Structure 1
C-alpha cells in the first residue's frame, strides 16, 4: 500500500496494540467473582476437587468447572458454564448463583448437595440448562424458575423436592425436557403446562401427585413421552383426549390408581410403548390395530375382560405383551407371533398368567425365541398340551432384562505403570490405548430388551464402530438403562486434550441426537484417559485458552477490518445520495450471493442424506452448485439467526480471512428468512486429522 499516510499507520498500530491489550488483560466480572466465592463457601469439598478456587481469577486461572466467554461489551469475562458434575460435593446452593447473569449451563448433578433450590436462579434469564439431578435437595420448587425464558432443559429428578408444581412453569416457552421424576412432588398437575409448545418429554413418575389427569396435556403438539408412573390419581380416568396425542411414542401410567376403560390408542401412529399396568381398568381391550412400532404392551394387574383381540397378532416390532392378572377368557389367538420379526437375537415374551384362557392351539409350533406363560389359566388342566410343554409353570419375568457385563473382555497385558484402570487394548485396533470412559443412562427407552437395538444405538453415536465399546449395561428401576461406554482413539495415537474435550462436550451439552426409540439420555460420569487432569479442570483450561486465543484473534481481525474500512474510505469517492435507499443485496468482492431456490436445488431440498454435520449454529449440508462446484452449506437454525447488518458484517470479515488451513468462503444466502454461508467442500481427512493438525504447518496466520 504505497503512499499510506504515516498518521494513518500510527493510528492503526495504536488501535491494534490497544485491542491486543484489552484481549489479554480481560478479567472476570467482579460481581461474578464474589458470587463464585460465596458459592465455594457454601459447598463442602472433601476430595479437594475445587482447590483451584482458592486464588487467582476464575476465568483465567483455571478454576475447576468454570467456562467463560468474552462476548459482552463491558471488557469483562463472564461465567457461561458451571460444570461440577459428580465431584462428591455436599453443602448447599448459595443464593448468589443468581448473580451469574450470563450463565447458560448450571450442572451440579450427582453430588450430595442439600437444602432448597435458591429462588434467585430465576434471575438468570440466559440459563438454558438447569441440571440438579441426583442430589439431596428438598423444599418446594421456586415459582421464580418460571422466569427462565431461555430454559431448554430442567432436570431436577432424584432429589427430595416436595410441594406442588408451580403454575409459573407454563411460561417456560422454550423448554424441551421437564424431568422432575423421583421426588416428593404433590398436588395437581397444572393444566397450564399444556402451553409448553416445545415440550418433548414430561417425566413426573415416582412422586406423590394426585387429582385428575389434565385433558389439556393432549394439546402439547410435539410431546413424545408422558411418564407418570407411581402417582395417585385415585378414582380418575384416562382422558379420552389422549388418543389425539399424535406425536406420542411412550405412555406410562403404571400404578396410578386409575379407573374406567382403556382408551383406544390406535390413532397414535408412532406409539411404541404402553404401560397401564397396576390400575383398576375394566372392560375389554380395544380391538383396533395399534402402531407397527409397538415394542411393549403392559396391561397387567387390572380388571380387563373379554378375549385377547386378534389385532395383537400383527405387531412386527413387539418384544413384550403382558396381560397377566386380569379376567381375560377364550382362546389365545392363533399364531399370535406370526407377524413379529423374530430373526437374529430378537425375543418375544407373551405373559398371560392368571386369567381364564381356555385354549392354545399352537404349542407344537412355538418358535425357540418366543416365551409363552400360561400358569393360572383353565388351559393348564392336567394332561393338556400346554402343561406337557412346560408352559404352565409359574414364572416371574422382569419387566426389562438383558444385562451385560463385558468389562474384562478386552483386558490384556498392556503396561499398567500409569495406574490407569482404563489402560486397555482397543477391541478392534489391538494396541494399548487409553479410552474416554462415559457413564451414560437412557432415562425412558421405548423398548424392553436392549440387545435388539444395541447395534442401532452404536450407529447413532458420532463415533466409528471400532472406537465405541459398550463395556456393560444394566436395567435399573424406572425402568432406565445404565451403560458404561468406552471411546477409543481413531488410531494407535492417544487422544489429545482437544479431542477429549470434543468428546466430553458432546455428552455434557447434549449434542448427541438419538432416534426417538431411545428416549432422553443423561450423563452420569466422565473419566479422562489422563489421570492428573479431571474432566472439569481440563474443560476449564481449554476454555480459558480458547478465550485468550479467541480474544487475540478477534483483536487482530478487528484491526484488519479497521484497516480495510479506513483505506476504502480514503480511496473511495463519496457515494451519491440516490444510492442511500437501495435495498438489493449488498455486493461483496469475491463473495457470491445465492438465492434460497439455488440452495434448495443444491442440497436436494436440504435432504437429510445431504447433511454432513450439525452444531449449535445449525446444520451443514453437502451440495452441488449449478456450475458443478461441490460446496459445504452452513444453514442457521431459526434460533441462531442474526440481524441482517450483523450477518453481512460477518461475511465481510470471513471473506478477508485467507490461509491454507482455512476453508474458503464462496458465498452466502439471506433470502426467505434464511441465513446460509457457502464454503468450499473439503472431502479429504477426518475430523481428527484436522483437529490434530496432521500434515499441516504451523498456524503462521496468528501474529
Structure 2
C-alpha cells in the first residue's frame, strides 16, 4: 500500500482521537500562531495528549499555562478567554509579550492565578477584573500598565497577593463607596504591592481595617500626599511597611506603636514634621529607615530599647540633642546612620564600639576636638567586598553541567557602606536557599554576585539559581522560583524587606534540549505501527466513514422534514440560507462545552442562550429552544423566517441553525457587550455617555427602519425593548430577538391578531386595545427605549410606567428640562447635554396614544441624525448609512447577491 496513504490515514485517526477538548485545542492553536518562540514540542494536534511544555490538563481540558521566561514575543489574544477551565496563567519574564490585556480575560471564571510579571503589557487593567471571583494571585508587576487601579479588584474575596508595582498606574487608591467596591474590602489579602507607580492623592483612611490580614503594605515611590492615616495602626498582622518616596506630610501617627509584628518600617524621602514617634511597642522591629523626612527634636532613648532593632537610618533630618545608645538593652543592634543632623553628644559602651557601626558625619558632635574617628568617618568597602560567599566561579557545587535560572534581585539597601559583600552574599544566599527548601523546589544552590545601587538607592544583585537532580528546570519550577524571589524577605537578620525580581529568558527547558530525540523516537514508533497495522486501520476508517455517511443522510432527511412545515418556500427542500448553515448537534455541544453553566448567558420563554466558539475561532451565541415548548418552536421558526432574509449592520446576524435529536437551536454572531438594558442598569460595567446614547439610538432606529421599509414582506419586530438591542465591541447597536416578529403583506394592511404579545411597559396601548398590529407598535416601543436612554430607568418600576410618569410630569410642570429627578444622573446634569430636549420631544411623539400620531421609523432616523448634527456630532462616525439609505437601498448594506428583490418570500 502507498506509504503516503498510510501516513494520511494515521494522521487522520490521531486527530479524531485527540485527548484535548476541541475548543481548547483551537485556542491553543491561536496562541501558537500569535506568539513566537513557543516551546519546540508544541507540535501535533493534541496539547494535552502531546504533553506540550508548560501546559497542564485535566479531563482533556487545559487548566494551567505556565510559560515563564520562555522568551515569548507577541500579544495575548482575547480568545484565550475561551479556555473555560483555565486556573493558572503565568507568562512572567517574557519581555517580548506586549499589547493590552484583553478585556475578555474577565471571562476566565475559574482563574486562580494571573501572573504576568516582567512582561511589556500596557494600557489599562480591565475594569471588570474583579469578576474573577476565584482569583488568589493578581501579579502584574513590572509592566507598563496605565490608568487607574480598578475598583472592582475589591470584589476578589479570595485574593492572597495583589502586586501592581513597577507600572505607570495613576489616580487615587480606590476604596469602597456606596455600591462601589475598593481595596479596603480585601480582608483576606496578605500583600498590597503598589510601589513605583504614579498614584496620587492621599492614602485613604478607609484603606485599612482591623479585620485585615495584611503582611506587606508597599506604597513606595508614588506621588501620594497628605498624612499617614491613623487607621494603619489597626492592621495588627503587618510585618513590612514601605511608604518612602512620596510627599507625605504631618506627624507620623503615634498608634503605629500598636503594630507589634512589624519588622521593616521605611518612611524615607517624605515631608513629615514633628519628632521621632514612640515605637516602643514594636517588639519585632529590626529595620527602621526615616531619612530625608523633616523629623526634628531629640531622639527618644527608648528607641534603643527595641529588642530586635538591628539597623537604624535617620540621616538628613533635623534631629538634635544627645545620641545615647549606652543604655540600649538590644543585643541585636548593628548599624546606625545619623549623618547630617544636629546631634551634639554621643555615648556608647566599649562593646558597642566594637559591634555597632555608627556614622555621625555632618553633625556638630564631629566638629568637637574630642570626636573619635570611628563614628565621624564613612568607611569605604574593602577588598573583601569582591569575594563570593562560597566559591570564585558561578557553578553548581554538585553538578558540573547544569543550566541556572538567572535574573536581577532588587532590595532597599541596608547600611551598605560598612557592610562587606561576603556578609551580604552569605545572608542573601542562605535566606534564598531556606525559602526554596521550604517551598520544596528542586534547587541545588544559589549564587548572588556583587551588589550595586540603582538611581533610587535600591540594591541590585545578579542571581543564579541552580537545579537539583537534573541539569535544567521546567516551566512550572521557573514560575515558582520567580514567586519566591518576588515575595522574598531576607531573614536572620530581617533587614532588607520584600524584594523584587526581574527574571531573564531561560533557553534550557527540557522541550528545547531534547525535542529532536523525542520526535525521532515518535517517528520511529509511528512508522513501525503504520507498517504493522495498516490493513486493520483501513478497515476501521472505512467503517467510520460509512457510519458517518449514513448519519449525514439521516440528518439531511431530518432537516428536510423540519423545513417542510415552515412557511418559507413552498418546496420540499431545505432552503439555501444566505450566509447561514446547518450545524450538527455535536458541533454545538462541543462549542459550548456541553452547554456548561459557565457558557450560559441568558434565558427567555423559548429556552436558554449559550456562548460558544467554532473551530474557526468565531464566537457565537446559541439560542436553545426548550424541548416540548410550543412557544419556543414557534419563535424558532419565526426567527429563521425573518433572519434568513435580513442583512444589515444594525440587525444581529444569523450564522446558522440546528434541529437534530429533538433540539431546535439558532446560532447568531456573538455580540460582546451585552444588551442596552445591561449597560443602563450597570450590569455590564459599560458607561454610556450622551454621545454614545445618541449613537445607540440611531443604530437601533436604522435597524428597525430597514425592517419596516426595505425587506419584502416588511417586518414588524413586535418586541422592541432595550434588552433586545445589543451592543458590539464598538458599542454599535444591533436589533435582536425576532421570536415574536410578524411579516406585513403590504404597507397598507394592518394585521389582525387574537393575542397581544410583547413586554409590559413597551406594548403599544392601541395594539393592546384593538388587537390590531402595525409597524407603529414598534415605534411606540422605540419611544420607550429613548426615554430609558434619557432617564436610565426601567419602563415599569414598582407598578409605575415610565411613559405615564414623564407625561404626568410634563403636564404638571410644563418643562421637562427642569425635571432633574427624571434624568439619568450619569449623563451629567451640571450642563444640559446638547439635543436632550429634542430627544425627549421625539420620544414623546413616538409614544403618542394613537399610532397615526407617531412618526415612522424612517422619520425617526432623520430626526436623530438632525439631533446629532445640532450637538456637533457626526451621525456617520460609527455607522456608514444615513437616512438616505432608507429611501433608496444602499448596496453597501447587502452582499452583491442579496439585492432587495431577492429578499422577497414570494
Q: Which TM class, normalised by the smaller chain length?
A: 0.5 to 0.7
Instruction: State which structure, 1 or 2, has the greater radius of gyration over its C-alpha atoms.
Output: 2
Aligned position for 2:353: 367
Please state whether the residue corresponding to 1:469 is helix, strand or coil.
strand
Is this contact kept in 2: 1:258–1:280, CA < 8 A? yes
Is this contact kept in 2: 1:296–1:318, CA < 8 A? yes
Selected match of 2:184 from 187, 194, 198: 194
> How far apart are 1:165 and its partner, in Å?
0.6
> How far apart are 1:83 and its partner, in Å?
1.9
Is this contact kept in 2: 1:49–1:64, CA < 8 A? no
CA RMSD of aligned residues (A): 4.0
> How far apart are 1:521 and its partner, in Å?
7.3
Is this contact kept in 2: 1:65–1:537, CA < 8 A? no
Query: Matches of 1:362 and 1:141 in 2, distance apart?
Result: 53
Q: For 1:198-209, what aligned pairs fall within 5 Å after superposition? A: 198-209=188-199
Aligned position for 1:40: 32
Q: For 1:20-419, what aligned pairs fall within 5 Å after superposition? A: 25-43=17-35, 45=36, 48-53=37-42, 55-70=44-59, 77-111=60-94, 112-191=96-175, 192-219=182-209, 221-234=212-225, 236-264=226-254, 265-335=256-326, 338-341=329-332, 348-362=334-348, 366-386=352-372, 389-393=373-377, 405=388, 409=392
Change (3 A) 1:535 1:194: farther
Please state whether the residue corresponding to 1:293 is helix, strand or coil.
coil
Note the alpha carbon deviations across 1:624-682, whole angstroms, 9 max, x for none: xxxxxxxxxxxxxxxxxxxxxxxxxxxxxxxxxxxxxxxxxxxxxxxxxxxxxxxxxxx
> How far apart are 1:505 and its partner, in Å?
7.6
Is this contact kept in 1: 2:410–2:500, CA < 8 A? yes
Greater fraction helix: 2
> How far apart are 1:61 and its partner, in Å?
2.6
Is this contact kept in 1: 2:429–2:448, CA < 8 A? no
> How far apart are 1:89 and its partner, in Å?
2.1
Query: Matches of 1:350 and 1:208 in 2, distance apart?
Result: 32
Is this contact kept in 1: 2:404–2:467, CA < 8 A? no
Query: Matches of 2:262 and 2:298 in 1, distance apart?
Result: 23
Is this contact kept in 1: 2:118–2:502, CA < 8 A? no
Query: Matches of 1:26 and 1:104 in 2, distance apart?
Result: 22
Q: For 1:426-505, what aligned pairs fall within 5 Å after superposition? A: 426=398, 434-435=401-402, 437-439=404-406, 451-452=426-427, 455=430, 457-462=432-437, 468-473=444-449, 474=451, 479=458, 484-487=463-466, 489=468, 495=470
Change (3 A) 1:233 1:522: closer
TM score, norm. by length of structure 2 = 0.48
Note the alpha carbon deviations across 1:509-554, whole angstroms, 9 max, x for none: 87999789575776836869x776449989x99xx9xxxxxxxxxx
Please state whether the residue corresponding to 2:81 is helix, strand or coil.
helix
Change (3 A) 1:202 1:502: closer
For CA contacts below 8 A with separation 6 or more, give which structure has more relative contact order. 1
Change (3 A) 1:182 1:296: same
Change (3 A) 1:425 1:371: closer
Is this contact kept in 1: 2:66–2:475, CA < 8 A? no
Query: Matches of 2:386 and 2:102 in 1, distance apart?
Result: 39
Is this contact kept in 1: 2:40–2:515, CA < 8 A? no
> How far apart are 1:232 and its partner, in Å?
1.1
Query: Matches of 1:321 and 1:458 in 2, distance apart?
Result: 27
Is this contact kept in 2: 1:436–1:500, CA < 8 A? no
Query: Matches of 2:331 and 2:269 in 1, distance apart?
Result: 26
TM score, norm. by length of structure 1 = 0.60
> How far apart are 1:65 and its partner, in Å?
2.3
Aligned position for 1:524: 503
Query: Matches of 1:465 and 1:368 in 2, distance apart?
Result: 40
> How far apart are 1:127 and its partner, in Å?
0.8
> How far apart are 1:41 and its partner, in Å?
2.5
Is this contact kept in 2: 1:470–1:484, CA < 8 A? yes
Q: Which runs of 5+ in 1 are unaligned?
A: 1-20, 71-76, 343-347, 412-421, 427-431, 545-703
Change (3 A) 1:278 1:237: same
Query: Matches of 2:251 and 2:163 in 1, distance apart?
Result: 28
Please state whether the residue corresponding to 1:306 is helix, strand or coil.
strand
Change (3 A) 1:292 1:438: farther
Query: Matches of 2:360 and 2:391 in 1, distance apart?
Result: 39
Q: Which runs of 5+ in 2 are unaligned?
A: 1-12, 176-181, 416-423, 492-496, 523-906
Change (3 A) 1:27 1:118: same
Change (3 A) 1:454 1:63: closer
Please state whether the residue corresponding to 2:448 is helix, strand or coil.
strand
Change (3 A) 1:163 1:85: same
Please state whether the residue corresponding to 1:332 is helix, strand or coil.
strand
Change (3 A) 1:407 1:156: farther
Note the alpha carbon deviations across 1:431-488, whole angstroms, 9 max, x for none: x555563447777789776745754553443289997422225477684775635456
Change (3 A) 1:279 1:503: closer
